Chain A
Amino acid sequence: MLSSVKGFLRFAGGRLVLLVLASALIFSCMALLPGDPAEVILGVDAQPETLAALHHKMGLDQPFAVQYVQWLGRLFQGNFGESYSYNVPVWQLLSERLQLSAPLAGLALVLAVALGVPLGGLAAIKRGSSADIVLMGGIQLTKAVPDFWLGMVLTGFFALTLHWLPAGGFAGWESGPWPAFKSLLLPAVALALPQAAVLARYTRSAVIAVLEEPFVLTARAHGLSEPAVLLRHVLPRSLPPVLAVLSLQIPLLLSGTIIVENVFNLKGTGALLLDAVNQRDVPVVQICVLLIVALVIFEKGLSERVENRLNPRAHSDKEGQGV
């Protein structure tokens, strides 16, 4: 019991140090970039006195290290800071954008898994058949297609020609779940298809590897039906590598959607981060990137734990604590 508490503390402490290090790195990167947030706000007509007044208001007249320590201190008090450009708390901006980005990422993830895993499994079972060749060809093609291009094609067909779905923009949850869902569907498909292709490829090779294991032969020899062999024995054992890939895709779906957001004129976290970098809105960049880092760390812990469950023989976490 005591050791597990200690283990947990060590685990959490390690992650925390990692996050602080990441924040220092992000802060330094932003400081190294040329450009001054106050200059960006005031533009080409800025007068020197106004610039000085704004510097003072934003605390930019302080040395860089002082700014960082103050920021870190506020963060530990639960204060995420205020956006330089929008003059509102960063958490408010972020929560506004997450109302779009979280469901979009979730929908894309569900679509990617629902398409990628069964198709990959099917290709593995039918390995070498014409179905496998057609599937793998299609998967290869989908993987090669850039998501923004897919977005443009989908918009042209489903929105501008057929008028089934809106061409872009987010209807907002206040307009009802159905319009909101409809406005997220095309971007989610554009995001999901290339990811589904990646998942399908990994699923296929994972399933093939498991199918060649001796215990599959044993299961068949026991007289188990083929679906039972696949569902009870093959599937659970082929999931760990697929989950590992998936855990890398989730942060990508939340943060790497900048181009797709642009094509569909969605103002999500991707657009927020891009604008923040372009405007040197350091508090927003800090929190957005930290969130992504935290997500990756959390995801990794989670997938390790699930992997351990699925495959007790593998002990990836030496302390045996998981998350």
Chain B
Amino acid sequence: MFYKKSFYKKRSFQAGVVLSLAAVLPVSAALASAQNNSIAVGVNVSPPTLDPTANPAEGIRIVTYANIFEGLTGVDEHGTVQPLLAKSWSVSPDGLLYHFTLQPGVRFHDGSALTCATVKYTFERAKAPESLNPQKHIFENIKTISCPSDDVVDISLDAPHGSFLSELSWGDAVIVSPASAAGNGQHPVGTGPFVFKSWKRGDSVTLTRNDDYRGEKAHLSQVVFRFYSDPMAAANALLDGQLDAYPSFPAPEMLIRFAHNPDFVMRSGLAPFKGILALNNRQKLLAQPLVRQALAYAIDRRGIAEVSDVPGARVIGSHMSPENPDFTDLSGVYPYNPEKAKELLKQAGVEPGTRLRLALPPIDYARNTGEVIAAYLEQVGLNVTIQQLEWPAWLAQVFGHHDFDMTIIAHTEPDDLNIYARKNYYFGYNNAEFQALYAAYEKAADPAERHALSVKMQEKLAHDVPNIYLFFTPRTNITRAQIKGMWNNQPLPACPLSAASWGP
């Protein structure tokens, strides 16, 4: 999907300036990369370690997922679960027993072989009390793992868990070797199509092709991930030829520099991005459904989506982004209606001038939309105090101590409706009806039934508005025109490059 040309029209003057710069650009650097068959990829977030099973950082997954590490299952660009280290599986009718058959002849980069024992070791390590696995709950439901033979894994669960196969495809569930697991943070050893070569902390990670890979080998002989904290420096690096690709380019206002440059292609892709105005449902005022509905009516979310300045941004009506197969459009449940909002507030007995705090994390979308949301709420008689917080302070105050009224944050995890069933989660939504729906969804194995339940949960949230669902923004991938085979969508944090190549 390409951007519509019209988006750039109003900025044609700037485009002209950039064009004249672009005209003198030599392509020597890019051609050099193409000749030695390597690629340099720009990433916003620098990984703190390189072990996805012990740290939730997005940067770790971008570098390692499906490049260095692989799970029993994997996902394709559209988020559909696919066989990976397990070539096939079956599930018992009661949803309690999973029977996996492993790919034959899989070896780790250090030469050790993948067997059922490796899988058993991986999941038991993730489940252990001292484990720091960010998604420990996936493994806590595992009752036993048995190994009828080296290439067969039988996993029995305590309770049916319909998302199990899809969760096994996450970075948190990749298979690690007992020989190297302890050192994966600094020197990751996996089964994937690329081998870890070197890491300059904060600066770059270099991978090389795994020539012993079992299946189709990667096209590129070398991949360098470079980390950028400043979008301007990132844009310069692309134009300068130091970078060949930048998935999820962070600054929409700079895309103009690439829009009319024939050396680059921009593609828009989907990702599970849900920008929300999170409400503290424990707070006396916000615990009332009427007040939350009033807030939903008070904010012109179409306006907010436009302010975000990202082409393709759209309003969402529930905690689900459009790339999800279960997505149902509920953006029309509470259309912008300030009069209605005032009426509901009056009904709920909220005095004009009532104070609400809005805590903002140091993230562009939050800072950009915070003022606008405060202004909308003030128009219906509320008095909003904005509190700008840096990230650790936001985590401590909002997430840790639940000391907030409202905050703006984007949830980017795939399939995360479960957070509304967690009573002690930061926004504190505690609704028996939703919890029952979620329990049924977790138990269900039939895809049609799961879809129907997911839609029901989305509808429940859309009407109950524990949070105000604001917008979805697509991600923008910039690559050199010759590069093929990179993911446009990002169903989970990842940048798999085994299919990427220079040219046809």
Contacts and interface: CB of A to CB of B under 8 A. Distances in A.
A96 B232 contact: no
A224 B18 CA distance: 59
Interface string B389-413: 0111101110110000000010101
A155 interface: yes
A33 B394 CA distance: 12
A34 B240 contact: no
A50 B397 contact: no
Nearest to A274: B229
B49 A155 contact: no
A279 B392 contact: yes
B240 A166 contact: yes
Nearest to A51: B400
Contacts of B399: 39, 44, 46
Interface string A268-295: 0001100100111000000000000000
A155 B236 contact: yes
A156 B131 CA distance: 48
Interface stretch (B115-123, B147-155, B195-203): B195-203
Interface in B4-21: 21
Contacts of A166: 240, 242
A114 B134 CA distance: 53
Given A57-B130, A265-B234, A265-B237, A50 B413 contact: no
22 contacts: A35-B391, A35-B396, A39-B392, A41-B55, A41-B57, A43-B395, A46-B399, A47-B136, A53-B129, A86-B49, A86-B201, A87-B186, A88-B186, A155-B236, A167-B237, A169-B203, A262-B233, A265-B226, A265-B233, A267-B203, A271-B202, A275-B202
A152 B129 CA distance: 50
Given A167-B236, A169-B237, 10 more contacts: A35-B392, A39-B399, A41-B56, A44-B399, A50-B131, A53-B132, A86-B48, A161-B21, A265-B230, A267-B227
Interface in B43-94: 48-49, 55-57
A217 interface: no
Contacts of B48: 41, 85-87, 279
Interface of A: 33-37, 39-50, 53-54, 57, 85-88, 93, 96-97, 152, 155-156, 159-161, 163, 166-170, 172, 262-265, 267, 271-272, 275, 278-280
A-B CB proximity, top 6 nearest = A35-B392, A167-B240, A267-B202, A265-B233, A167-B236, A85-B48
A170 B228 CA distance: 12
A49 B201 contact: no
A280 to B, nearest CB: 5
A279 to B, nearest CB: 7
B185 interface: yes
Interface residue tally on B, bucketed by range: 35 or more
B393 A34 contact: yes
Nearest to B426: A44
Contacts of B136: 47, 49-50
A27 to B, nearest CB: 16
Nearest to B394: A35
Contact of B56 (A42, A48, A53, A262): A42
B432 interface: no
B284 interface: no
Nearest to A152: B232
Contacts of A86: 48-49, 201
Contacts of B226: 169, 265
Interface string B225-255: 0111110111011011010000000000000
Main secondary structure of the interface of A (DSSP, over half): helix
A73 B148 CA distance: 52
A262 B392 contact: no
A36 B397 CA distance: 10
Contacts of A163: 26, 240
A166 B48 CA distance: 26
B235 to A, nearest CB: 9
A288 to B, nearest CB: 13
Contacts of B21: 156, 160-161
B24 A161 contact: yes
A258 B426 CA distance: 34
B478 to A, nearest CB: 15
B451 to A, nearest CB: 24
B473 to A, nearest CB: 18
A50 B132 contact: yes
Interface string B180-205: 00000110000000000000111100
Contacts of B237: 167-169, 265
A263 B232 contact: yes
Contacts of A37: 392
Contacts of A36: 392, 395-396, 400
Contact of A39 (B228, B234, B400): B400
Contacts of A46: 56, 134, 399
A43 to B, nearest CB: 5
Contacts of B482: none
A44 B239 CA distance: 35
B242 A57 contact: no
Given A39-B400, A271-B202, A272-B202, A169 B242 contact: yes
Contact of B397 (A34, A48, A49, A265): A34
Nearest to B203: A267
A43 B413 CA distance: 12
Contacts of A278: 390-392
Interface string B22-57: 001110000000000000000000001100000111
Contacts of A152: 232
Contact of A264 (B55, B233, B411): B233
Interface string B100-136: 0000000000000000000000000000011111111
B202 to A, nearest CB: 4
